[in-house]
Amino acid sequence: MHDVFARLDAFGERYRLDHGLSPGEDWIDCSRLLDPGSPELTRVLDAERHASGQVSDHATALTVIAVYASRVTPAALLAWALEGVLIDMRPSNVAIRLSEHHGFEAVGLREPSVVEGPVERLVSWVLEEHLLPLAAALRVRTRAELRQLEGGIAYGCATAFGAAALRGGDVDALEAAYHRFLSAAGGRLDRLGRLVRLAEAGLEGLFYLRDTCCLYYTSAEKELCASCCLDSESDRIARYRAALRKA
């Protein structure tokens, strides 16, 4: 087993991938979420709506896709950015466990293999075969606007690089990797927000400025995300600089 999984664990829970999955642990096959009418997609939407107290189906879908893209698939992006390897994150190889709280309790791989390959294969496995079809299924199921759903994907992918930078990752390498990923994605995510590099108190970080909204502020939490486009860019950057000072 490639020790990339141990290094991913060191970056925090966001990047932890379980393996050796047991049927008794109530794992949900992620390939089933690509079917708009599947009971598995119903379970995911119902769990998030109950946990966060969302007010509508479409708002729940937007919250789900943003959380999914920032929790389920970012380990593959980080493994490629820092290790130059690919983890198979095609939906048929990925499973999730639901949480009683906002988000997911665990992400697992059926076959935790690590291979060499180009960034184009990463884009295929993570975006074209996984996240974008999930957005399409959520669009059919809830009528959530596709641009907003894809904005959640763009946010989740970008925060994989930003969160790693704040946990000691090489900022230069992460920033360069992010732009290589965007380029390989063919401009699909460019129009939905941008990554900014900020320096404060002797530290540097990468932070995302969204151009779309996940409507999490309509949940029972009634809070804007730090990257929310409903706040001005200057206010968001000020919050990010404060986070760097605190770090």
pLDDT tens digit at each of 247 positions of the chain = 458 999 898 888 889 999 888 877 899 999 999 999 999 999 999 999 998 888 899 999 999 999 999 999 999 999 999 899 999 999 999 999 998 888 899 999 999 989 999 999 999 999 999 999 999 999 999 999 999 999 999 999 998 898 888 888 899 999 999 999 999 999 889 999 999 999 998 889 999 999 998 887 887 777 788 788 888 999 999 999 998 998 7
The 3-state DSSP composition of the chain as helix, strand, coil percent (nearest 5) reads 55, 15, 30
pLDDT tens digits, residue range 128-185? 999 999 999 999 999 999 999 999 999 999 988 988 888 888 999 999 999 999 999 9
**Phi/psi class of residue 222: alpha, beta or left (left: φ > 0; alpha: ψ in -120 to 50)?**
left
- Name, in order, each residue with C-beta under 8 angstroms of 104's C-beta and a sequence gap of 6 or more: 67, 68, 71, 72, 96, 97, 98
What residue spans of 126-209 are helical by DSSP H?
Answer: 132-142, 146-166, 171-184
Quote the DSSP letter at residue 168: T
Measured in Å, how far apart are the chain's first and last C-alpha atoms? 33
Kind plus residue range of the DSSP H or E element containing 239: helix 233-246
Distance CA 46, CA 50 (A): 6
What the chain holds in terms of domains, given with CATH numbers, is 4-189 (1.10.510)
Handedness of CA 80, 84, 90, 91 (dihedral sign): negative
Beta bridge partners of 195: 208
Task: Report pTM.
Answer: 0.93
